[in-house]
Amino acid sequence: MSNRMILPGATLGVLGSGQLGRMFSIAARQMGYRVHIYSPDSDSPAGQIGDVEVVAPYEDLDRVRDFARGVRVVTFEFENVPSATSAAAAEFVPVRPDGKVLHTTQHRLREKEYLSQNGFPVTPFRRVATLGQLQHAAMELGLPSILKTATFGYDGKGQQRLESREELPGAFERLYGVEGILEACVDFDREISVVAARGLDGSFEGFPVFENAHAHHILDVTVAPAGIPPTLYREAMELARGVLESLQVVGLLTVELFVTRQGGLLVNELAPRTHNSGHLTLDACPTSQFEQQLRAVCGLPLGASTLRAPAAMANLLGDIWELAGGVPNWAAALSDPAIKLHLYGKAVPRVGRKMGHLTATAATATEAAAAVRSARDRLLWPH
Phi, psi of 246 (to 5 degrees): -60, -45
CA 259, 265, 270, 273 dihedral sign is: positive
Residue 1, pLDDT score: 47
Closest CA relative to residue 358, chosen from 381, 380, 374? 374
Query: What fold does the segment set 124-184 form as a domain?
Result: Dna Ligase; domain 1 (3.30.1490)
For the chain, which residues make up each domain, given as ranges? Answer: 11-95, 124-184, 188-378
In this predicted structure, the answer to whether residue 308 has a pLDDT above a threshold of 60 is yes
Percent of the chain with pLDDT over 90: 95
Residue 79, pLDDT score: 87
Give the C-alpha separation, 344 to 279, whole Å. 12
Per DSSP bridges, beta strands 73-76 and 11-15 are parallel
Average pLDDT estimate for 54-62: 98
- What would the pLDDT profile of 327-377 be if each residue is shown by its tens digit? 999 999 999 999 999 999 999 999 999 999 999 999 999 999 999 999 999
Q: CATH top-level class for 11-95?
A: alpha beta
Q: Does 188-378 carry CATH code 3.30.470.20? A: yes
Give the C-alpha separation, 376 to 236, whole Å. 30
Closest CA relative to residue 14, chosen from 70, 91, 62? 70
Residue 3, pLDDT score: 73
User: Could you tell me the CA-to-CA distances from 135 to 151, 176, 249, 326 in Å, in that order?
Assistant: 21, 17, 37, 47
What pLDDT band is residue 80 in, cutting at 50, 70 and 90? confident
Average pLDDT estimate for 186-211: 97
Cis peptide upstream of residue 144 (ω within 30 degrees of 0): yes
Residue 157, pLDDT score: 67
Residue 158, pLDDT score: 79
What pLDDT band is residue 153 in, cutting at 50, 70 and 90? low
Q: What does DSSP assign to residue 268? A: E
Residue 46, pLDDT score: 98
Residue 323, pLDDT score: 96
pTM, two decimals, is: 0.95
Give the C-alpha separation, 63 to 248, whole Å. 28
- What would the pLDDT profile of 216-263 be if each residue is shown by its tens digit? 989 999 999 999 999 999 999 999 999 999 999 999 999 999 999 999
Q: Could you give the 3-state DSSP secondary structure of residue 88?
A: helix
Give the C-alpha separation, 316 to 103, whole Å. 31
Mean residue pLDDT of the chain comes to 96
Over the range 162-178, which residues count as b (16 or more CB within 10 Å of their CB) and which as e? Answer: beeeebbeebbeebeee
Average pLDDT estimate for 144-149: 96
Residue 155, pLDDT score: 57
Total residue length of the chain = 383
Closest CA relative to residue 282, chosen from 259, 301, 303, 267? 303
- What would the pLDDT profile of 259-269 be if each residue is shown by its tens digit? 999 999 999 99
- What would the pLDDT profile of 272-283 be if each residue is shown by its tens digit? 999 999 999 999
